[in-house]
Amino acid sequence: MRTKLLFTIVCTLLGLQALSAGNASTTAPIMWPVSYTIKTDRPFVYPLEEIGIKFDRTVKLMEEITTPVTIQANGVVVAEATSLEIINTESKKSAGGILNVHFEKQNLPKGITYRLCLPEGVIGWTEMEEGIYQLVNGATTEKFSVPSSLGPTFGTEDGVQIADSDDFILLYWGFETKAVGNPKFDLYRENEKIAEIPADVTCDWDLGQARPAFDTYMTFDKGINYKLVLPAGSVSSVYREDITNDEVVFNFIGGYNGRMDSFTYTWCSLYTDHSGILGEVSFIYDRPIEIAPDAKILLHEIYPATQTIMEVTPWLNTDANCWCLVCDFGGYHRDDEWGFTIEIPEGTVISADGVMCARSEFRSETAGVEDIIVDSDSLQPFYNLQGFKVDHPKIGDIYIHNGKKLVFK
């Protein structure tokens, strides 16, 4: 065994010596991407135009590229790169490179899974490995899917109790959306259609949303089953009008009992505190209040699915010159890019005359976005939230710059 091992080591050393002496152009395919602007876990709802492939070192295009970068479906090439672009960044602490692969702009067919195929040897390291090897990328593929529709919604919980049209109902998709024509919700009471409610469809950076925009005040009888139905095709992706919503059905239970008993907070301390660290949060009410026994305030994630992070016990601040509900999240740091929701469940607060508050929430969707000033002449490129390079960023829009998410000023 020892003789065999010694023989292997000697042969390896002789091979390296031969390479060093006579062939400095030998390549070694040991560079691998660290990320892509397409995501395997997130449907692709944009036209195919540019895909970025990121490496953990500065890179260059190799002089002879014999096999093109392609998009394939079931082993068949459906698109071929029209050009390749390198963007390198270097600092004292790190270096990186992005290979931007450009395609003829097109909408890939829906409901199909594709693969981005990067052949071996398309790019190389800008340096040599000890003068022996030119490091190049290994052959890789990255899977992504174009969905047949926008998929299910999330947001206001299905089946909640709602007293009147002033209660907040908001449904989200995980993509930026826009209205198709003049969409409307169909409102049903015990499966009988009673009204059509205009649908307000908007988007907030990488989330789309729709809500019923009631023209007049309505109440929903206590204990009665209601539902809002948004027909299929009412909403589309901002970037592909052919990717639209499936039928959306939102069920809720009426909570109005003949009294004007729906009330909620009028002000929250987070309207002015944007530190991203949740300590004591105050909610101000316009009437004398008490806290129900065993009351809890809930902290939720927003995306990819509503999930409870923390439950805290609220108390009344009797020193304040107002009716103030306080809850303490203990300095919880929200540094992710999706934001959070603080929920005050129905009945947590009770007015002096015994009326329970409606369910209410404070929603923040700007966590992880830096509101900083960036020199528009900066040499570092700007990318939108889909990973596409933006040559002329607009003031007030959100971009990725130097690996950080920021508002362009």
For 41-80, the pLDDT digits (tens) are 889 999 999 999 999 999 999 988 889 999 999 999 999 9
Whether residue 359 is predicted with pLDDT greater than 90 in this model: the reply is no
* Cβ-based neighbours of 345, under 8 Å, separated by 6 or more: 295, 296, 298, 359
The Cα–Cα gap between 184 and 166 comes to 18
CB atoms within 10 A of CB 30: 12
According to DSSP, the residues that pair with 114 across neighbouring strands are 144
The Cα–Cα gap between 156 and 306 comes to 9
The Cα–Cα gap between 44 and 113 comes to 10
**Where are the domain boundaries for CATH 2.60.40.1220 in the chain?**
154-254
Dihedral over Cα of 86, 94, 205, 234: its sign: positive
Confidence tier at 334 by pLDDT (50, 70, 90):
low
The Cα–Cα gap between 254 and 243 comes to 33
Average pLDDT over residues 175-179: 95
* Cβ-based neighbours of 243, under 8 Å, separated by 6 or more: 45, 110, 146, 147, 148, 149, 150, 236, 237
Architecture of domain 154-254: Sandwich (2.60)
What token pair was written down for 292? Answer: 């129900």
The Cα–Cα gap between 408 and 388 comes to 16
* Cβ-based neighbours of 179, under 8 Å, separated by 6 or more: 199, 201, 234, 235
Whether residue 199 is predicted with pLDDT greater than 70 in this model: the reply is yes
DSSP letter for 105, please: E
What token pair was written down for 96? Answer: 């990186």
Q: Which amino acid appears at position 5 of this protein?
A: L
- For the chain, the straight-line distance linking the first and the last C-alpha, in angstroms and rounded, comes to 68
24-146: in CATH 1.10.3470: no
What pLDDT does residue 13 have?
37
The Cα–Cα gap between 90 and 347 comes to 56
| Residue, of 20 and 173, whose pLDDT is higher | 173
Phi, psi at 157, each rounded to 5°: -65, 130
pTM over 0.75: no
Instruction: Check: CB of residue 45 under 8 Å from CB of residue 241.
Output: no
The Cα–Cα gap between 366 and 132 comes to 49
Q: Lowest-confidence range among 124-133, 233-242, 259-268?
A: 259-268
Architecture of domain 267-364: Sandwich (2.60)
